[in-house]
Copies of this chain bind each other. A is one copy, B any other.
Amino acid sequence: MEQVLSDNNLVISVDAMGGDNSPRVVVEGINLAHKNNPDIKFLMFGDEAKVSEEMKRFPQMKEYCTLTNAPESVKNEDKPSQVIRNKNTSMYMAIDAVRKGDAKAVISAGNTGALMAISKMILKTIQRIHRPAICTNIPHKNGMCVMLDLGANTECSAVNLAEFAIIGNILAKHTLGIERPRIALLNIGAEEMKGREEIHQAAKMIKSTHLDLNFIGYIEPHQIGEGYADVVVSDGFTGNIALKTMEGTARLITGLLKTSIKKSIWAKIGLPFLLPVVWTLKKSMDPRKYNGAMFVGLNGLSVKSHGGTDALGFSYAVDNASKLVRQDFVQTIRDEIEHVDLDELSQDILYDVY
């Protein structure tokens, strides 16, 4: 392996074999991402013959990409428990590059469960953080907000939720450039006693002046799109349900719209006039723009690109990751979490009840 890299702060490692159309889409995606991030170097891991064949189409790629052969790859149907100890997969090797300090972040469009399991095992959770979370940016009326956890933890304690609030706060600052992000807990009502006990406890913790967060209280799902909050915190089960419901509702509406347009001659006549509007809307809702779910709370950043995305989508995932890498995001979390003892805070709040 020829080492072309110097400053490992700007190195991202890539699982070239993950996703539906790998390694083609991955290589094309990196080529696109390079245009926005000419200073970022990439460590690619994958089937050398296949990947280098794809890379031939972009001769300059050699200047910012180092390819290492990985004899195996993780399949979509593989169970995390099966692949977690196989050190020969492109996914394992790409994550291991972050552990070794060769790269600051890893991106894969492969098996989500495997990526989380291997990342947790190799990179380990940041000291004092109990659980990593899956985070993403989603669109609202006036911009974007950070949502977490989206599925890493199906059940969460108040301490977990409070940690997610701290992580989300840093994410919103770094990825959205918001100075004092408004943080809200996802719940089924605005009143203090609505929802589950762990949410009430978490609210008390996040409110604590000790954490110095801009906590605005509970948010109900229909308020997310209104842009009331910059960070929406929930357990992974609830976050996953909300995210997939958004996806499904958007698909249902556009599907119904298409069906009714097909049935109407008048609509077909009028449609060309509306195409610019359709394009604008498509662009602002384009899921590729929000591609890249970040696994946060580990010693290193692990980013999951959508398995079915195209090159543009993959490049957005790289963009997102590189933003965080540039700002040494993981170190920021370490620094911030050092100042708080959530377990103690949680004890204080429990005592408060008696």
Contacts and interface: CB of A to CB of B under 8 A. Distances in A.
Contact of A188 (B240, B248, B266, B281): B240
A114 to B, nearest CB: 13
Interface string A231-249: 0000011101110111111
A280 B255 contact: no
A35 interface: no
A49 interface: no
A237 B140 CA distance: 23
Given A266-B276, A270-B273, A277-B260, A221 B241 contact: yes
Contacts of A266: 273-274, 276
Contact of A140 (B186, B223, B252): B252
B196 A221 contact: no
B244 A154 contact: no
Given A222-B247, A248-B221, A154 B276 contact: no
A260 B245 contact: no
Contact of A276 (B221, B252, B267): B267
A154 B284 contact: no
Contact of A271 (B140, B195, B246, B274): B274
Interface residue range, chain A = 35 or more
A9 to B, nearest CB: 35
Contact of A250 (B140, B155, B249, B272): B249
Q: Is the interface of A mostly helix, strand, loop or mixed?
A: helix
B245 A155 contact: no
B222 A251 contact: yes
A257 interface: yes
Given A253-B285, A270-B272, A261 B277 contact: yes
Contact of A252 (B141, B220, B256): B141
A274 B272 CA distance: 11
A317 interface: no
Contacts of A222: 244-245, 247-248, 251
For the complex of A and B, the 3 pairs showing the least CB-CB separation, nearest first, are A270-B273, A222-B248, A225-B252
14 contacts: A154-B188, A188-B240, A222-B248, A222-B251, A223-B248, A225-B248, A225-B255, A226-B252, A245-B245, A246-B249, A256-B281, A267-B274, A270-B274, A274-B274
